[in-house]
Copies of this chain bind each other. A is one copy, B any other.
Amino acid sequence: MSHNTFGHLFRVTTFGESHGPAIGCVLDGCPPGIALTAAEIQTQLDRRRPGQSRFTTQRREPDEVRIVSGVMANGKGEDVTTGTPIGLMIDNVDQRSKDYSEIAAAYRPGHADYAYDAKYGIRDYRGGGRSSARETAMRVAAGAIARKIVPGLIVRGALVQMGPHAIDRAAWNWDEVDNNPFFCPDAGKAKFYEEYLDGVRKSGSSVGAVIEVVAEGVPPGLGAPIYAKLDADIASALMSINAVKGVEIGDGFGAAALTGEDNADEMRMGNDGKPLFLSNHAGGILGGISTGQTVIARFAVKPTSSILQPRRTVDRYGADTDIVTKGRHDPCVGIRAVPIGEAMLACVIADHYLRHRAQVGEPVSWPFTKE
């Protein structure tokens, strides 16, 4: 319900604007006894941090996270969660509020400016205030903790399309993802993107992207029928990321074009005495519940709205005007959306892991009929 809280049992509440003194996050519901250091969280934050290549905003935000509460030494040389709320804080340092003085009254097309004024009658125009992507740093921090809650869970992501240019899925290599500034698993396409995005950037334009995030090691049985479906929560989580306009699970929109025979993920008993799916059109989720297969989701990110090309707009006083959004912006916000998408997926799965434990207990393995 809360406007700034995500999750039900693993609850993430964020606060702070990009141009206030700090942003923060309260993580409530984390189980006790989990080893946790600020350094671990920092590792994930650094993946999202701007200013790491010429393809992301040149703002310098060290994004140094502090753990304010909920963790203490356990007397055995480890810092562990205590089960009480984990408070996280990141100080804001590289703000240039004057960059925004021109757009205090004019509505930038594609931004939330107009909608905020329509809702609240007031908005923090400095850096977008609450609508700034800066808030997503806290999502990544929360995701770093979520990853530790489900035993054996591995969450990874990759950029699979930039502008109209999709990767070659046959060339997918997870190792490549960290070898280029695009989180791109296709080395050849990454090379192409470099030149392509340089052109976009120099022309003061921007492009969109599609990101794929996957979760391996998700135990079967997470999620629930009807309104607590695992995929419904993933859809909500990914759609809540800034600039996202579409979400799909498994074959997604492609499934609409398939026949029932082709779409069916058939099964056979495996050599290890466990059931085996022969394909994964479903993206690891059936009836809203995980099957134990890899969970696969994709989301579309629109092109950055802040561009140097002048656009027609109006101001809050009712005058026509043209606007150019200066400042330091990502030519493709989809790139930094990769670790954010991973974090959201990890948070949803951690939440459902706890929800499942509440109603049913620890996830079972095959055979399901225990007696």
Contacts and interface: CB of A to CB of B under 8 A. Distances in A.
Interface residues of A, number: 165
Interface in A73-121: 74, 80, 82-87, 107, 109-121
A258 B302 contact: yes
Given A15-B85, A16-B69, A85-B15, A300 B248 contact: yes
A7 to B, nearest CB: 9
Interface stretch (A23-31, A39-47, A48-56, A150-158): A23-31
Given A116-B225, A231-B239, A246-B247, 10 more contacts: A3-B227, A15-B69, A20-B69, A110-B260, A114-B275, A205-B259, A207-B259, A235-B247, A246-B248, A263-B302
Nearest to A108: B264
A188 interface: no
A254 B164 CA distance: 9
A312 B267 contact: yes
A60 interface: no
10 contacts: A5-B11, A15-B70, A24-B26, A112-B286, A118-B292, A119-B356, A200-B259, A245-B255, A247-B248, A264-B311
A123 interface: yes
Nearest to A161: B256
A4 B286 contact: no
Count of this chain's copies in the oligomeric assembly: 4
Contact of A208 (B82, B232, B255): B255
B251 A240 contact: no
A8 B122 CA distance: 24
Interface stretch (A127-135, A167-175, A177-185): A127-135
A192 interface: no
Interface string A234-249: 1111111010011111
B263 A208 contact: yes
A199 to B, nearest CB: 11
Contact of A369 (B17, B107, B117, B290): B117
A42 to B, nearest CB: 17
A164 B262 CA distance: 13
B287 A111 contact: yes
Interface in A280-329: 281-283, 285-292, 300-307, 309, 311-314, 316-320
B14 A226 contact: yes
Q: Which 4 A-B pairs have the closest CB atoms?
A: A112-B287, A246-B248, A115-B289, A358-B358
A339 interface: no
Given A6-B227, A120-B32, A269-B318, A291 B115 contact: yes
A62 interface: no
Given A82-B120, A252-B300, A318 B17 contact: no
Interface in A320-344: 320, 334
A286 B113 CA distance: 8
Interface in A199-214: 200, 205-210
Contacts of A250: 245
A237 B20 CA distance: 31
A80 to B, nearest CB: 7
A15 B26 contact: yes
A210 B256 contact: yes
Given A20-B68, A235-B236, A257 B208 contact: yes
A224 B253 CA distance: 27
A163 to B, nearest CB: 6
Given A118-B289, A119-B83, A292-B118, A263 B110 contact: yes
